[in-house]
């Protein structure tokens, strides 16, 4: 049976129309779920009993469960158990600008980036929309406060589960949903070009981040197998189109791997690639995992200065969460 939290506002309106009801019922249901936090359909008191029964025949409001939470400084990691006993993780972060959550979009991941722990388990399945929405609801309930921003940067490739991720974004962004501003939502992709193109037509001001991680195909092929399908020039071209269409600034993520992609020449080559584009580079200090092949770069500062010198905007991602394995690339779809 379908979960009621799988439906975007428009889909719920269409559902009501399809059963001969007025579409404003969608507003009432959204308010119950996302504003009053009422998940028992019997208690949707402004809907007639008959309609509640129909709703109950068509939908459930089942929840995923918090299986474990680990608390670090300024960060909490949640392990969620899904109804089919799969697991995913999400991370809550305290920033000076508010609370943000990093959500997972798939169980496992097929992208196979060599340096990333999350991809060591191949994709088992995509997450349904409600399984992403509930990561936020359960964390808000756990900490008894509201989340200000969301990044889809946990386990999985969001553009490999595009439709559910976009539905999720619409629900958390909707004024009668969780009310998280579109500008406070960021989706990160490893560069699935057709989906970047599709995303550029979405009438929502959601941010896009792209895991580039290399200034040329030779390096990117070694660390990101997806590059053999969508190479750097294809990714850069689709980003140029995206920027032209949306007028939005794109984040270029670049994980700093010692001796792999962190030379000053690499920085200059990256600067050449991005020259004139409305982007900023977010350098990610590598979080070492059990994977001994890669080490954290010790040249982040020089690399950053070289980019600045070439007129590229750059920030370094704040490091936290690694002591509870909650940092970028450390999340897992496993209980232990």
Residues identified as active-site: 89, 328
Distance CA 68, CA 124 (A): 21
Query: Under the rule (CB under 6 A), what is the footprint of ligand SAH?
Result: 111, 113, 115-116, 153, 157, 188-190, 211, 253, 255, 284, 286-287, 289, 328-329
125, containing H or E segment: strand 125-126
| Contact residues for 316 (Cβ-Cβ < 8 A; gap 6+) | 282, 283, 285, 300, 304
Chain position whose Cβ is nearest to ligand SAH: 329
The string of DSSP letters for 40-51 reads: -GGG-TTS-HHH
Distance CA 208, CA 196 (A): 9
Between 51 and 328, CB nearer to ligand SAH: 328
Between 27 and 186, CB nearer to ligand SAH: 186
Distance CA 117, CA 114 (A): 8
Least distance to ligand SAH, CB of residue 330, Å: 6
Least distance to ligand SAH, CB of residue 255, Å: 4
Measured CA angle at 162 (ends 202, 191), to 5 deg: 90
| The pair of three-digit structure tokens given for residue 9, joined into one six-digit string | 């506002």
Least distance to ligand SAH, CB of residue 6, Å: 22
Between 279 and 284, CB nearer to ligand SAH: 284
Least distance to ligand SAH, CB of residue 270, Å: 15
Between 7 and 88, CB nearer to ligand SAH: 88
Residue with tokens 């509640």: 52
| The pair of three-digit structure tokens given for residue 242, joined into one six-digit string | 């995206």
Between 201 and 290, CB nearer to ligand SAH: 290
Distances (CA, A) of 223 to 36, 134, 227, 233, 261: 46, 33, 9, 17, 10
| Contact residues for 74 (Cβ-Cβ < 8 A; gap 6+) | 93, 94, 320
- The 3-state DSSP class for residue 78 equals strand
Least distance to ligand SAH, CB of residue 277, Å: 18
Least distance to ligand SAH, CB of residue 126, Å: 13
Name which of 58, 52, 50, 54 is nearest 38 in CA terms: 52
204, containing H or E segment: none
Between 134 and 157, CB nearer to ligand SAH: 157
- The 3-state DSSP class for residue 131 equals helix
Burial string for 56-67 (b: 16+ CB within 10 Å, else e) reads beebbbebbebe
Between 113 and 127, CB nearer to ligand SAH: 113
| Contact residues for 20 (Cβ-Cβ < 8 A; gap 6+) | none
Least distance to ligand SAH, CB of residue 212, Å: 9
């Amino acid at each position: 049976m379908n979960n009621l939290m799988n439906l975007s506002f428009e889909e719920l309106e269409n559902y009501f129309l399809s059963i001969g009801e007025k579409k404003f019922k969608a507003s009432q249901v959204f308010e119950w779920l996302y504003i009053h936090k009422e998940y028992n359909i019997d208690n949707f008191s402004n809907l007639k009993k008959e309609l509640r029964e129909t709703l109950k025949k068509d939908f459930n409001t089942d929840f995923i469960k918090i299986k474990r939470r680990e608390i670090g400084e300024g960060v909490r990691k949640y392990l969620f158990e899904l109804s089919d006993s799969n697991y995913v993780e999400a991370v809550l972060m305290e920033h000076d600008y508010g609370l943000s959550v990093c959500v997972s979009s798939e169980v496992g991941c097929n992208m196979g980036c060599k340096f990333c722990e999350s991809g060591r388990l191949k994709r088992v399945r995509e997450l349904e929309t409600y399984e992403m929405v509930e990561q936020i609801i359960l964390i808000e309930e756990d900490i008894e406060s509201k989340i200000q921003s969301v990044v889809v940067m946990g386990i999985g490739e969001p553009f490999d589960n595009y439709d559910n991720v976009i539905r999720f974004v619409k629900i958390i962004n909707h004024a009668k949903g969780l009310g998280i501003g579109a500008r406070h939502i960021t989706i990160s992709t490893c560069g699935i070009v057709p989906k970047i193109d599709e995303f550029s037509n979405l009438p929502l001001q959601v941010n896009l981040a792209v895991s580039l991680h290399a200034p040329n195909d030779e390096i990117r092929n070694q660390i990101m197998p997806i590059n053999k399908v969508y190479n750097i020039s294809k990714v850069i071209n689709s980003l140029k189109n995206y920027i032209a269409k949306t007028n939005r600034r794109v984040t270029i993520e670049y994980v700093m791997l010692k001796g792999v992609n962190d030379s000053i020449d690499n920085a200059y080559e990256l600067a050449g690639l991005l020259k004139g584009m409305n982007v900023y580079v977010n350098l990610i200090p590598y979080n070492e995992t059990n994977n001994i092949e890669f080490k954290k770069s010790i040249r982040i500062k020089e690399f950053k200065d070289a980019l600045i010198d070439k007129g590229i905007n750059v920030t370094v991602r704040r490091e936290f969460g690694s002591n509870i394995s909650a940092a970028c690339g450390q999340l897992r779809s496993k209980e232990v």
